[in-house]
């Protein structure tokens, strides 16, 4: 697979098969991804790989917390992200793209705007890694600056492209961030670490309709400014 093909075929997969991924393959992906650039070569990433019982136990803990939060919204104060992934106030064109993405996915799954039960169930699929056999958690030392999140983005993209080159798929997931108080102790992260995001890794379930959902991209002409 060429780099172009890996980029073009990368997608956020939301249904995986139970087919295992060899530890050596995961290690190879992470080793290759470590070639990502970082400011003054700080290499600020730290990765926790969850498989088997450790994965399943975290899934049950966070799903239980997600259910409790739905039953008692006041618990939201306990489950807050450590950094703002999304803006406090949405504006166009970003809110328009967000809505297009959400309703496009829900429409494909036959989930109507008022169907809160099915919306909740679909959202909880995040906390099951969409059934992927491998879950990855990424942390960053809190002492690092905001620029390290830029470095992290390049590292995460490398992981996703290296996975595609090996016939695998991924789904990067910021949804986990609100449950960091559960996740960080579970993975053995130190008090100096901040959760950046999670990621599902495995083989895509080609028979599941959810994986026919492909998000559009605006043409380069719309975001590029030529100066001469």
Question: Span 100-125, mean pLDDT?
Answer: 92
Structural domain span for residue 7: 3-86+127-214
pLDDT in tens, 116-175: 999 999 999 999 999 999 999 999 999 999 999 999 999 999 999 999 999 999 999 999
Spatial contact of 200 and 170, defined as CB atoms under 8 Å apart: yes
Task: Give the side-chain half-sphere CA count within 13 A for 28.
Answer: 12
pLDDT at 114 over 90: no
Measured CA to CA, the distance from residue 108 to residue 178 in angstroms comes to: 27
Interval 170-181 mean pLDDT = 97
Identify whether 174 is part of a domain: yes
> Domain for residue 145, yes or no?
yes
- The string of pLDDT tens digits covering residues 2-30 is 999 999 999 999 999 999 999 999 999 99
In this structure, what CATH number is given to the domain that contains residue 30? 3.40.109.10
- Tokens linked to 129: 């890694």
% the chain with pLDDT above 70: 100
> How far, in Å, CA of 95 to CA of 93, rounded?
6
114 within a domain of the structure (yes/no): no
How far apart (Å, rounded) are the C-alpha atoms in residues 33 and 37?
10
Judge whether 152 lies within some domain: yes
Question: Is the pLDDT assigned to residue 113 strictly greater than 90?
Answer: no
Count how many domains the chain has.
1
The mean pLDDT of the chain is: 96
């Amino acid at each position: 697979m060429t780099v172009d093909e890996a980029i073009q075929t990368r997608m956020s997969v939301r249904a995986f098969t139970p087919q295992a991924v060899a530890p050596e393959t995961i290690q190879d992906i992470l080793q290759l991804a470590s070639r990502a650039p970082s400011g003054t070569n700080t290499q600020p990433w730290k990765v926790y790989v969850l498989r088997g019982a450790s994965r399943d136990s975290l899934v049950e803990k966070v799903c239980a917390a997600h259910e409790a939060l739905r039953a008692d919204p006041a618990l939201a104060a306990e489950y807050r992200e450590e950094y703002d992934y999304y803006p406090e106030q949405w504006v166009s064109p970003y809110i328009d793209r967000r809505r297009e993405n959400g309703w496009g996915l829900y429409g494909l799954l036959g989930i109507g705007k008022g169907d809160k039960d099915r919306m909740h169930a679909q959202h909880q699929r995040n906390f099951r890694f969409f059934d992927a056999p491998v879950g990855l958690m990424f942390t960053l030392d809190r002492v690092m600056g905001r620029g390290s999140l830029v470095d992290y983005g390049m590292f995460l993209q490398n992981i996703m492209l290296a996975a595609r080159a090996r016939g695998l798929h991924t789904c990067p997931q910021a949804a986990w961030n609100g449950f960091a108080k559960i996740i960080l102790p579970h993975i053995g992260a130190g008090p100096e670490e901040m959760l950046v995001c999670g990621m599902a890794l495995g083989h895509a379930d080609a028979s599941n309709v959810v994986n026919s959902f492909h998000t559009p991209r605006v043409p380069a002409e719309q975001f590029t400014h030529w100066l001469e």
